[in-house]
Structure formats: structure tokens, C-alpha cells
Structure 1
Amino acid sequence: MSTPTRPPGGTDWSYETLRDCLTHERLGSYLKASRNELSEAFALYEWNMEASASVLSLTSMTEVVVRNALDRELTAWAARKDADREWFDLAPLDSQGRQDLAKARDRATRRGKQPERHGKVIAELSLGFWRFLVEQRYFTSLWVPATHASFPGGPADLRARQRAVKNRLQQLTFVRNRAAHHEPIHRRDLLNDLRAAIDLAEWACPDAGAWTRATSTLAEVARKRPVTA
């Protein structure tokens, strides 16, 4: 096996030095995929960075659409129950949900130094919070009376819709977290991740689905994946 010391084009780095900088452990999956051809491993690593950036863009688009759709229906639900309280004060959140909400409120008010604004609290809640909000545990308390209506374009059966939304949000949360932490995503079916994001956006709002499909770069990036040995 022959490993070039430097890539073609007169660049000012060597693959061996970069390997030591990044560590063999971090490059392990790329080296395995390229059968230890260092130049191919780095080509795959560079593609993985581009794919991760595209995943983060896609999931941020989807997150905003999903959280706004859920917030809209939960706000309407709370108004029907008690017009003077926020939905997140009425929702029967579990301990993790309450912790996430408390942290979001703390950030939104800069630890109580600013007045609390609904929109700011919503923006501070993570994708993971919204993912857990559509879990089976909230089917009776939140999904049936409120959150199912956030995805009118989803499956007609409410249980099937809940499972479909939950599964896609789990999928996107997982790939988003890997991308955000610079982990390998080169073995994933990224086109399937793209379809999951488009489904969620489209079920919430057909225009949002069309916008996501038209503006996401993930399909183009996926097609450029280097062919490894």
C-alpha cells in the first residue's frame, strides 16, 4: 500500500502529520472505510465535514417548523383550559421536561434579569425537548387533545401519526447530534434523513415541505460522497 506524503497540488501539509493531529481514534472509521489509504480517508473526512454542515442546516430548518407547529397547537390547547397560563405551565411534563423548561426559561430571561417572553422561551427549548414531547407517554395528555393537530398532513390514524412523527424526530435528533459533535455520518443513508425532514415539514405545512426540499443541499452533498476502496 502506498500513502502519499502530501496531496497533489503543492499543498503545505502532510497526511501523516494531520493524522497525528486528529488522532488515529478519530480517523478510525475513515481509515477502515478506505482500507487504510490515508489520502482516501482524508477525502472522506472532508466530505463528512461538508455533509455535517448540510445536516445541521437541514435540521435547524426542520426544528423551527416543528417547534412552531407544536407551540401553536399547545398555545390553543392552553387557552381552552386556562387563558392566563402558558401551555408549558399546564403540560404534565416529566422530570426531564421540567428541567429542560427551567433551563430554557433561565436562558431566556438571562437568569431572571429580563422579563420572560413566550417566544424567547420557545426558541431556547432544544430539539430534544420537542422530540420527547411527542413520545407515547404524552399520547393521552397532549397528543390527542393538542399536538396531533401540529401535523395535519401526517397519517390519518392518530396512533400511526404519533409513531411516524416520533420516529422521524428521533432520527433527525440522532443525526443532528452526530453532526454537531463532529462524529462520522458517512455510513448513514443521508437521503433517508432528508426524507424524514421533508416529511415532518410537509406534514406541518406543505409550503414548508416544498421549501425544505428546494433549499436543502443534503441530496447534492450525498451524491458527492467519495468512493472508498
Structure 2
Amino acid sequence: MHFTHDEIQKLPRVLSAPRFATYLSARNGNKEQALQLYQWNLEVSAAFFVPLQICEISLRNSVVQAIEFAYGLNWPWEKSFEISLRSPSTGYNPRSNLISLRHLPTSGKIIAELKFVFWEKMLTSGHDGVLWNPYFRQIFPNTDQGKTVQALRGHANQTVLKIRELRNRIAHHEPIFNRPLQQDYLRIHEVISWADLTAAAWTDKIQTVTDLIRAKP
């Protein structure tokens, strides 16, 4: 990555001093090297959207399958499902998130609009009795058969939390260059593989994240 004199002088001002300072500090004040790192951060962030999208769709479709087994096809309007959702007074509220979307005409449209954190919160212990004890192994057949459902579900919850943290940083245009990005990708691959090994292999085939990680300036 090479930058012209004008780019080196003007781009840091366009990006803003506070934002660029993170990259400048990481490259000991060298503006050109900081710009190289910034550009690489842009490229690897964009590349992550492909596996992240596959991961989110795979995860939510699997969780929906378990919900449908337990609550039926009209689960978004089932009172028993609504009651099963947490409703904290502060922070993210899964119950409110669902209720706010009930004006939509189909469950498919509701599924598409529910926040990613909704699916993460479905993987908490409060849903073990109705969802995960009976259905976890059915919807995630490629998880470790030697572990208990509770252990697998707990691991799934923490794994998806870390993936959501990465997703949010990318969505808010934050630096990710100092994250363990190879480990981040492996988590995404792991979640996809729980439901379908072919989908995980396809993700490996089409993603460009790992090549970019190796090309970090």
C-alpha cells in the first residue's frame, strides 16, 4: 500500500484526529504506516461481512427451528413464548424487541428484523428446559457429543457473544486490528459448522478474511 504526499497530508484530517490517533499510536507516529494499517482495517472489516452474514443466518434459522418445535409456527404471537423471554428494566430487552415487531405480517419478516443479540439471549440457561434439553442436539448435530447440553449451550452463548462484539465493532467502524482475528474467524466457522459442515466448508472457500490477516501491514 503506497500513499501519495497529498493522501498522507489530507487523509488523517478527513478521518479525524481522534480516530486516526489509534492507528498513529500503533505505528509509532508514522503517518504512512498508520494509513496502511487503517486501509487494511477497512479491508479486513469488509471481508468479515461474508462469514458473519452466513453465521447469523445459520444461527437464527437453527434457533427458530427449536422455537418452532417448542412453541409452534406462530411463536412470535404465542403468549407462552413471550413470557419465556427476559424483560430487564435496563439494557437490551428481548421481550420488548419481539413485541415491537408484531405489527409485521409474517414470522419470517419478524425473524429478519430481530436483533442479533436476540438470538444470543436465546442461548441462555432460562431456555434449557423448553428448548435446549430436548432440541439442542437436533438443531446443532455437529457439536461435541461427549459434552452435556448445558455445557454446549453455555459455550454457544459465550461464542456468539464474542462474535456479536466483533460484528458491532465492525458495524460502528471501530478498529479491529488489535483483535485475535484468526480466532474470531474460527469462532464464526465453528458456529456455522454446528448446523451444517457443508456450509462451513463453503464459507471457508469463499471468504477472504484469512488471506487478509496474513497480509497485515
TM-score band w.r.t. shorter chain: 0.7 to 0.9
Structure-2 separation of matches of 1:74 and 1:155: 22
User: Contact 1:134–1:147 (CA<8 Å) still a contact in 2?
Assistant: no
Within 5 A, what are the aligned runs for 1:62-211? 62-79=55-72, 85-86=74-75, 89=78, 90-91=80-81, 92-95=84-87, 96-106=93-103, 109=104, 116-156=105-145, 157-211=148-202
Structure-2 separation of matches of 1:166 and 1:148: 15
User: Contact 1:58–1:216 (CA<8 Å) still a contact in 2?
Assistant: yes
User: Alpha carbons of 1:76 and 1:137: their partners in 2 closer, same or farther (altered >3 Å)?
Assistant: closer
Query: How far 1:148 sits from its partner (Å)?
Result: 5.0
User: Contact 2:77–2:102 (CA<8 Å) still a contact in 1?
Assistant: no
Structure-2 separation of matches of 1:52 and 1:163: 27
- Give the structure with higher Rg (CA): 1
Q: What residue ranges of structure 1 are gaps of 5+ in the alignment?
A: 1-5, 110-115
Q: Could you tell me which residue of structure 2 aligns to residue 112 of structure 1?
A: none
User: Alpha carbons of 1:201 and 1:134: their partners in 2 closer, same or farther (altered >3 Å)?
Assistant: same
User: Contact 1:73–1:146 (CA<8 Å) still a contact in 2?
Assistant: yes
Q: Could you tell me which residue of structure 1 aligns to residue 34 of structure 2?
A: 41
Q: What residue ranges of structure 2 are gaps of 5+ in the alignment?
A: 88-92
Query: How far 1:193 sits from its partner (Å)?
Result: 1.0
Structure-2 separation of matches of 1:24 and 1:31: 9
Percent identity of paired positions between Structure 1 and Structure 2: 28
SS of the aligned residue for 1:185 comes to coil
Q: Deviations over 1:192-215 (max 9, x none)?
A: 111111111111111111112212
User: Contact 2:133–2:149 (CA<8 Å) still a contact in 1?
Assistant: yes
Q: How many residues align?
A: 206
Q: Could you tell me which residue of structure 2 aligns to residue 214 of structure 1?
A: 205
AA partner of residue 43 (structure 1):
Q
Structure-2 separation of matches of 1:150 and 1:97: 22
